[in-house]
Each structure stands twice: as C-alpha cells, then as structure tokens.
Amino acid sequence: MNSGAGGFDSHALPPPARAPGTTLCTLADTEIRPLAFGDEAQLMRSFTEAFSAVDPNFQPWSAARWRWQFQENPAGTRLMAAFDGDGRALAQYAGVPQRARLDGEAVTFTQAVGSFCLPAARSLGRQSLFVKTGFAYADEYVGPGGDAWTWGYPVVSARRIGEHALGYERVREQTMLVAPHERITPAASSATVDEVGELPEEVDELFGRLAPRYSAVCERTKGWLDWRYKRHPEHRYRMATARKEGALTGYVIARPQVFQGARRLVVCDWWCEDPAEGALMSWLCEAARDAGVKGVAACFHHQAEEYRVWQERGFQVVPTSLVLSGRSHTRRPPFWFASRWYTTLGDSDLC
C-alpha cells in the first residue's frame, strides 16, 4: 500500500499493529487490549448485558454465533476490549473485516459491529472508556498494512459518538428498492437458473472478471461466501446460480426476514452479468411467492447500474432508517465511497 496520491496518508495514521494480546492502554485497574484466548466467556456475558439494557427485544447470541462472527472470519479478527482488575469485560470495539479491491489494489474494509460499553464504565477517565477503546482499536488495526476503510450502519447514539470523537463521517442515507413480486417484470433471458446449497468454485473467476467494473468492492470469493452464508450458525439463505452454455454468469443470495418494518425477501448478494439478470430476477419472484412475503427488497448505492435497471423492472425507491457512516484511512475522503463502492446488504450484518 502506497502513501502517494490516493494511497494511505501515513502522516495522519497510528503506528503499525502490535502483537495480539499486547496491552495498549491502562487506566487505573482497567486494561485495554486485543482479543486473547480465554476472553470469550467474559465478552459474551458483558455483550449480552449491554445490548439487553438498550433493546428489550435483544436475543442473546449463541457461543457458535460469537465465534463465527469474531474468530472464524477468513479475513481475520478485529476486536479490542477493556477489562477491569477482576477480568470483567467493560467495553468492546469490534468489526467484521472483509478483503476488498480499491482501484484494483488488494485492501481490507471492516464493518464496525458488536461494539458496546457497560453503562457503569462509560465515564471512566476524562474520555469515555468506549472512545479510549476505539482509539486503541485504530492504533492496532488501521493504517499502513491495516484497514483502508472502516464503516457501519450505526444507531443514532453510536453515530454521534463516532462523528464527535472517532473521526467517522456520514456517507449517505441508505435507500432500498422494493416491489411486490407480482409487479416485477424481469428481462427476457437465455440463462438457466439452479437453486444450490452452496456456490461453486467458479465464483472466484466470476468475481475477478466483474470486479474491474467498480472503484471499490468487497471480494466475493468462494472462501468468503461459504463463511458468510453457508456456515452462518443461525441463519439460512437461499442461493441460485445462472449459467449460459455451462458457464457461470451470476448468482443471487436471498433470505426472508423482517426488514425495515415488513417481512420481505431480502437480496443479500447480487453479482452477475448479462444474460443472468433477468433469469435471477425471475427466480427472486418465485422465491418471494414461495416464502409468502410482502415483496422483494434490495439495497444498492444510488449510482449503481442496478439502481436504475431495477426501477425499470418495477421496483420503487423507498427511504430507510439506515445511515452509512465511515472513516477512510486513505487519502480518499469518506464521501468518495458514497457513489463508488458497490455494496449489497450482505456486505453488512443486516441480513
């Protein structure tokens, strides 16, 4: 990763990452450090306590979900935590890393997710413990050799803290494309579609072929897609592939769920080229009908080709409560990503 125009701004970034488990900051009896072996039980206990206090509908994660989210990701682990002298977890700043391409360069993007601070620990020191943990996270994981882009769909309170103290900026208000399945008019297609239990090895070549379309895009390779969808311990997804004369030309991954106030078939990932689009959209209509949901929903950025084409096929643009917030660790400002980063909901933890 370079430090020239468009590359990393080495003058504004912290030093390189330290060895895992190294203590980065102490405050009286409080220790802030990366995830270490044996931390899981304490972190899960405090994670549940913190989220249950603010969300009466919060469902505690299973141990399998926690390990899957933070320890089994093929792109690595991003977790910084604060502990008191008795080993109780007081705060956590965490993320889900994903390998990405940024103007053709291999980098890592990370969604900030699963972060918390126990109410009793928020006022420790002159700065909040959560903010201190966030600074330690940045010291460890971003900068030259580290993450190029940190982002999320934070709740209002977290967004305020991020913008006020941690260098995040508002990138865009996320819209969604929605339509009842009977109103969708897919384009004619010569591709054949098959529903599958997992995606084939050819997705690696498909990603490599289509990735140059985008200035910024997270990788959609076999290893990542299997972890993200096939091995998810709590959710089940429907997947379909499209082929033309035997060659893979696209795939779609979807899941029926409550999203933005209604039960819909949510498009988690969409990656394809002609002639796959019409065939895969027809499959979405059938899947929505089978699931008995209100309609189909998908999220793309406003300059994506899909944003225009799907409206022509019967989808309407509807606002959501989601606000994309991010912090760039390169010379590209956050607003650069608003219209250049190809995203689907499956790049986040929202489906």
SS (H, E, C) 308-323: HHHHHCCCEEEEEEEE
Residue 188 shares a structural domain with residue 311: yes
Residue 71: which domain range? 10-147
The residues pairing with 265 across neighbouring beta strands, listed in sequence order, are: 256, 296
pLDDT in tens, 59-99: 898 999 999 999 999 999 999 999 998 899 999 999 999 99
Domain count, the chain: 2
Question: How many Cα neighbours within 13 Å face the side chain of 137?
Answer: 29
CATH code for the domain in which residue 202 is found: 3.40.630.30
In this predicted structure, the answer to whether residue 19 has a pLDDT above a threshold of 90 is no
Q: How far apart are CA 101 and CA 217, in angstroms?
A: 5
pLDDT of residue 166: 82
pLDDT of residue 122: 63
262 located within any domain: yes
Question: How many Cα neighbours within 13 Å face the side chain of 18?
Answer: 16
The residues pairing with 298 across neighbouring beta strands, listed in sequence order, are: 177
Q: How confident is the model at residue 291 (pLDDT cuts 50, 70, 90)?
A: very high
Query: What value does the mean pLDDT take over residues 113-131?
Result: 75
- Phi, psi (rounded to 5 degrees) for 46: -70, -35
Query: What value does the mean pLDDT take over residues 186-206?
Result: 96
168 located within any domain: no
- Phi, psi (rounded to 5 degrees) for 156: -55, -45
Q: Which of 104, 130, 147 is the last residue before a domain boundary?
A: 147
164 located within any domain: no
pLDDT of residue 10: 28
Q: Which of 130, 147, 164 is the last residue before a domain boundary?
A: 147
Q: How far apart are CA 222 and CA 207, in angstroms?
A: 10
Residue 203 shares a structural domain with residue 309: yes
Residue 188 shares a structural domain with residue 316: yes
Query: What value does the mean pLDDT take over residues 181-209?
Result: 96
- Indicate the pTM of the whole model: 0.89
